[in-house]
Structure 1
Amino acid sequence: MLISLSFSAMIYRGATFELNRIERIQRVRLSFPPRPGIEPEIVEETKRRIALALASLNLIILGVSGAAGYFLAGKTLKPISEMLENQKKFVSDASHELRTPLTSLKSEIEVNLRDKNLDLRGAKKVLASNLEEVNNLQNLSDKLIKLTRYPKGGNNFLPIKISLSVIAKEATSKVSSLAESKKIEITNKIRNITLEGEKESLVELFVIFLDNAIKYSPRGGNIELTAVKTDSRAVISFVDHGLGIDKEDIPHIFDRF
């Protein structure tokens, strides 16, 4: 806008200078026979029109540049705003996840501290429960660290060729006790499909899906693992007979929490 105003001032000054120069020349020629010239009123009217045209032009430029600036600023700030919003949500959700085991741990300790009849056996039971909550906190903190590293490419994992059947077998073994507690049978139909990846991350991903399927499946249910290779991809399916996902929650399936 400053540049536009500067150019307008230069144009106005140049135009009015020429008009004033013509007027001065005509004053000098007063001793000569009168010649047709420019009336002073016409000169002033021309100056006024030039100033009005330049002012209108600057207002148009101001409006267009303001609208363009607003649009471009919105486009530029939108990803930053979304990133900050996601960061706030992540911190809020992480705090909530950490608060749950901490609240349970604190409540259990406070209750047992007020128990005057607490014996050695009861104290050991409390300590075992506390240790379990501490392990949960440690696992949660490890997962949070992984969540912050994955988007930044902070993992120096070297992909290796690995069989999906091996991944499925290890993941099924990790959740077997949870499945047995609900009398749930896990059927692994994944056979010899080889891909390139990082073993620990793939096993952890399988465990997350299986753990979720077990939690939301009815007692005595069945979970089926299948995989189909298509070109350079492997499509893996975890089929359970649980409650399913509400339609309003489907867009948030890949959210962190």
Structure 2
Amino acid sequence: MKNEPSLLWRLRRYLHRQSREPGAALFSGLRLRLTLWYSSVLAIALIFFGVTLYLGVQQLLLSPITDDLTSHAQMGAQGWLAISPDHSCSMPSPRPGVVPDIVPHDPILIACFDQNANLLQEENTSQLPTAFLDTSLALKAMQNGSASDIIDTGGPLGQVDRYALGIPGPDGKSYLGVIVVGKSVQAQETALSIILTLLFAVGGVTMLGAVIGGLFLSHRALVPARLAWNNQQRFIADASHELRTPLTLLRADAEVLLRSRKGMDPEDAELLEDIVTEANHMTTLANNMLTLARLDAGSQHREHEVVSLDTIVQAGLRRVTAFADQKSITLHAEVRDDLRVIGDPLLLEQALLVLLDNAIKYNHAGGSVTIHTALVDQQAQIEISDTGIGIPAEHLPNLGERFYRVDKARSRAAGGTGLGLSIARSIATSHDGSLRLESTPHEGTRALLTLPAASSSQTHQAQEAIALASPPMQSK
């Protein structure tokens, strides 16, 4: 008992460490999907095996009884026609040397009905269970020639298998009556019930073991993929970080040379301008790749502050106003000042800038961009709508994939890298939010950034934490 807290603490520490590992969300989803596939295949196999086994045993147990009842009904029909209607339910005597099927501990129940489905009284009729004498089966036999069912008679007989056979009249169109025979199948039904219970129990335990084993095996199977993914993310982050310094120096040197362009050959000046443009593009690409690698690895430093969406939106609008004026784009804002979220203001502003930049960049001259914030089901939403060129429906599912661009030539000319939406979506995901895109060609695009809204209690707790973290003011 003394080791329980230590084991629980170690388990929580292990799970926390697993959740903090790079790509934990990605590989957790893969692990669950693999386990689901393993379990589904096993479940289908178990269901097929169980149904086949149950039906096979049912046929093995009940088929001889059905054949026996059919034989007795035919013998009863012969007795009806050969002996006399007054003794219609009397069985013909067995031939010499033939042992009768009826034994004292497992009797055959017999009842006869006339053409109006009225019970014909015999010596043993009063000893038959009431449920066995129900006329519904006799009526079905008069319509179809024969019928069968299983009823619960209660008492020692329990479940009884009944078979009814119509006695055809001389004209072959009507029936003289119906003979109903039955036999207790309580022992067989009990055996089938036990088999069914065992199948469910064994199947449930097997499925539980399959899920646990599947989680373990899928975790082991994904270890090489996890290592390769971590190495790839580390390589991208290191390469992006190392590229930023030489690119910055290259751009700075080219800009210095351009200051003395008056004494320079015009073609050389154009080459230097191309160098500056490409250096800027590559610097943006390296920065975006580094940001994505850090977001994927969970190493991106992220603050947890109470952030006003009004502040984020106003800051984003200020940064894109000049770009919008250059493109003759009108900006409209319909922002609530009471929406708060818990997150990193710099990252949220970066995601907003990505969406605003795309809305302006792929818009028509004289178009407009509208920003609207709302609170829907305790979710803070930032909606950015534009009147731009729109996106064909077949491209919408792929938006957000890295380096995916609808029009590569136009995106390249506009300075796009194909990573902006990936960054915005990763930032939204890291804040437990989502990013959804809707678009109609030649009409515009709508981006909806959804984030969990901060409750008043969360806001109060965050403010108290900031107050406690701040150093106290010293009086002079």
Question: Which residue of structure 2 lines up, in the alignment, with residue 160 of structure 1?
Answer: 305
Matched residues in 1 for 2:225 and 2:395: separation?
A: 25
Question: Which residue of structure 1 lines up, in the alignment, with residue 383 of structure 2?
Answer: 237
Question: Which residue of structure 1 lines up, in the alignment, with residue 372 of structure 2?
Answer: 226
| Amino acid across the alignment from 1:191 | R
- 1:201 aligned to 347, 360, 377, which one? 347
Cα displacement (A) at 1:191: 2.4
- 1:191 aligned to 336, 358, 364, which one? 336
Matched residues in 2 for 1:127 and 1:135: separation?
A: 12
The answer to whether the 8 Å contact 2:375/2:381 transfers is yes
| Amino acid across the alignment from 1:195 | V
Bigger relative contact order, structure 1 or 2, given CA contacts below 8 A and separation 6+? Answer: 1
3-state SS of paired residue (1:176): helix
Matched residues in 2 for 1:207 and 1:247: separation?
A: 24
The normalised TM-score by structure 1 is 0.52
Which moved further from structure 2: 198-207 or 175-184? 175-184
Which ranges of structure 2 fall in alignment gaps of 5 or more residues? Answer: 1-216, 255-260, 404-476
The answer to whether the 8 Å contact 2:336/2:374 transfers is no
Note the 1:1-257 alignment, pairs <5 A. Answer: 76=221, 80=225, 119-120=263-264, 122=266, 127=272, 130-192=275-337, 193-257=339-403
Q: Which has the higher helix share?
A: 1
Deviations 1:64-95 (A, max 9, x none): xxxxxxxx88x946x949x87xx79xx8xx99
Matched residues in 2 for 1:216 and 1:208: separation?
A: 12
Q: Which has the higher strand share?
A: 2
Matched residues in 2 for 1:185 and 1:121: separation?
A: 40
Which moved further from structure 2: 225-234 or 195-204? 225-234
| Amino acid across the alignment from 1:148 | A
Matched residues in 2 for 1:158 and 1:250: separation?
A: 31
Cα displacement (A) at 1:132: 4.0
The normalised TM-score by structure 2 is 0.30
- Equivalent pairs, count: 164
Matched residues in 1 for 2:396 and 2:221: separation?
A: 29
Deviations 1:13-42 (A, max 9, x none): xxxxxxxxxxxxxxxxxxxxxxxxxxxxxx
3-state SS of paired residue (2:372): strand
Largest Rg, 1 or 2:
2
